[in-house]
Amino acid sequence: MIPLLRPGRLIALALAAAAIIVPGLSPASCSGFCPDPIVAADGTAVSDRFWFFHRELGREGAITVRLAAMTGTITYPPPRHDRIVSGLVPWAKTGIIVKDGLRQGSSYAALMMTGRHGLRFQHDYLHDAAVPGTARWLRLTRSGDVITGYTSADGARWDRAASATLKGLPETVRVGLFAASPGDLTLRETGLGGTIEEVRFTQAVGVFDHVTVEGSAGGWGSDSVGSMNETDWEKHHNASGVVSKDGTIKISGTGDIGPLPEEGARAIESSLVGLPLALLILVVLGARSAKTVATATFVTGLLAIGTVILAQSPDSLLTAFRVIVGCSLALALCTVIAHGLGRFRLLLGVALIALPAILTAFPLLPDPVAEWLLRVTPAAGFAIKQTLVEYPQVTAHYAPSTGYHPLPGWAGMAVLGAYALIVMLRRDEFRSPDRSA
417 band by pLDDT with thresholds 50, 70 and 90: very high
Q: What is the DSSP string of 341-378?
A: S-TTHHHHHIIIIIHHHHHHTTTTS-HHHHHHHHHHSG
Beta bridge partners of 57: 173
Find the mean pLDDT for residues 269-288.
Answer: 91
Find the mean pLDDT for residues 138-162.
Answer: 97
Same domain, 205 and 220: yes
* Global pTM exceeds 0.95: no
Same domain, 374 and 411: yes
Number of domains in the chain: 2
Same domain, 176 and 117: yes
3-state secondary structure of 109: strand
Find the mean pLDDT for residues 86-105.
Answer: 97
Check whether 265 has a pLDDT greater than 50.
Answer: no
Q: Which of 259, 287, 312 is the last residue of a domain?
A: 259
Same domain, 230 and 355: no
Residue 237 lies in a domain: yes
434 band by pLDDT with thresholds 50, 70 and 90: low
Could you read off the pLDDT of 303-349 as tens digits, one per residue?
A: 999 999 998 878 788 989 999 999 999 999 999 999 888 778 899 99
- Report the CATH number that the domain containing residue 150 is assigned in CATH: 2.60.120
Same domain, 200 and 80: yes
Same domain, 23 and 44: no
Which residue would you say has higher pLDDT here, 183 or 435? 183
Residue 95's closest CA among 212, 202, 205?
205
**What is the pLDDT at residue 387?**
86
Q: Which of 259, 281, 302 is the last residue of a domain?
A: 259
Same domain, 163 and 308: no
Residue 249's closest CA among 61, 67, 86?
67
Could you read off the pLDDT of 214-263 as tens digits, one per residue?
A: 998 789 999 999 999 999 999 999 999 999 999 999 999 999 999 987 64
Residue 159 lies in a domain: yes
Task: Give every CB contact of residue 181 below 8 A, 6+ residues apart in sequence.
Answer: 72, 88, 89, 92, 93, 115, 202, 203, 204, 253, 254, 255, 256
Same domain, 9 and 110: no
Same domain, 369 and 301: yes
**What is the pLDDT at residue 373?**
97
Could you read off the pLDDT of 15-54 as tens digits, one per residue?
A: 999 999 999 988 765 544 566 789 999 888 899 999 999 9
3-state secondary structure of 135: coil
- Respond yes or no on whether the N-terminal peptide bond of residue 132 is cis (omega within 30° of 0): no
Residue 199 lies in a domain: yes
Amino acid at 138: L
Residue 168 lies in a domain: yes
Same domain, 11 and 151: no
Could you read off the pLDDT of 42-94 as tens digits, one per residue?
A: 888 899 999 999 999 999 999 999 999 999 999 999 888 889 999 999 999 99
Residue 436 lies in a domain: no
**What is the pLDDT at residue 28?**
60
Residue 437 lies in a domain: no
Q: Which of 259, 289, 324 is the last residue of a domain?
A: 259
**What is the pLDDT at residue 267?**
61
Same domain, 134 and 60: yes
Check whether 3 has a pLDDT greater than 60.
Answer: no
Same domain, 304 and 226: no
What stretch of H or E contains 397?
none
Check whether 208 has a pLDDT greater than 80.
Answer: yes
Residue 35 lies in a domain: no
Find the mean pLDDT for residues 194-202.
Answer: 93
Q: Residue 339: give the domain boundaries.
A: 3-30+263-430
> 45: alpha, beta or left, given left = phi > 0 and alpha = psi -120 to 50?
beta
